[in-house]
Amino acid sequence: MRQLTLLLYALCLLVAGHAFSQERPLAPGEGKAREILDRTIEALGGQEYLNVRDSVRHGRLYSFDRGELASPGDRFIDYLKFPGKERLELGKKGNIIYVNDNDKGWELDRQGVRESTPESIETFQESLRHDFEYVLRFRLRQEKMQLYYEGTEFVDNRQVHIVELVDDRNESLKLYVDARTYLPLQMRWRQKDVLTGDYMDVVESYGKWIRVQGVMTPMSVSRERGGRRYFEAYFTQVQYNVGVDDSLFTAGSLQERWKKVK
């Protein structure tokens, strides 16, 4: 009996030693990066933030052409259902609609309903991959991402922590976090220009934070591409977990709207 006990004990040590040897060593700065991201999620609302499954946002969207304002500000309603579903209704009557359901998409305009082009779907998926909320809520838990802490610097007169996230495509995202509030200030990445093939720096900025249903929410989002302002969105109302129905993210829903407005 004593020999059996010693044998089992030896086996336990062997297994434990093997498991320990299989642990991946932390990359330089990874521990600090994880600490920053944990504090950011906590600042955003912690478990209430992570438990958000859908949202409805009302506001105005401003587009820019070569950095110059190109629209007076279109009203919009944006329906989101995580992960990967979005319905954007533009205009006072909401008769221009873009619907995306992961790798599928449809559009409604004055000509009727049609499928989105592969380029439009890829643009949506790329935007989704870079959205800081999608990254924090889903990508961090579902993907193997390398994390690096790059120190601090000042952006817009604020001291920020910089955390780099690198996915299995070797695509890099840099999250700039306010060192005082731990709320995201910017997300930065590089994007290939479809016309020139050159890569441009993209900067998405977040501001006017308020607490909505226990979740810290940016009421303004803007994006620059290649140093030029690309769009600005200002939200007037945001609601979470309202039970957005899956039927909104279908071609059939656009066909029904088209019957009413054509």
Q: How far apart are CA 57 and CA 110, in angstroms?
A: 24
* pTM for the predicted model, two decimal places: 0.85
Residues 28-87: tens digit of each pLDDT: 689 999 999 999 999 999 999 999 999 999 999 998 887 777 777 899 999 999 989 999
For the domain 27-94+117-246, what is the CATH code? Answer: 2.50.20.10
Residues 101-112: tens digit of each pLDDT: 999 999 999 999
Q: Where are the domains of the chain?
A: 27-94+117-246
What pLDDT does residue 199 have?
87
Which residue in the block uniquely carries the two structure tokens 């479809």? 194
Token digits for 120?
């439009």
Average pLDDT, the chain: 88
Q: Using alpha carbons, list the distances in angstroms from residue 85 to 3, 80, 128, 250.
A: 61, 6, 10, 10
Q: How far apart are CA 112 and CA 97, in angstroms?
A: 10
4: three-class secondary structure by DSSP: helix
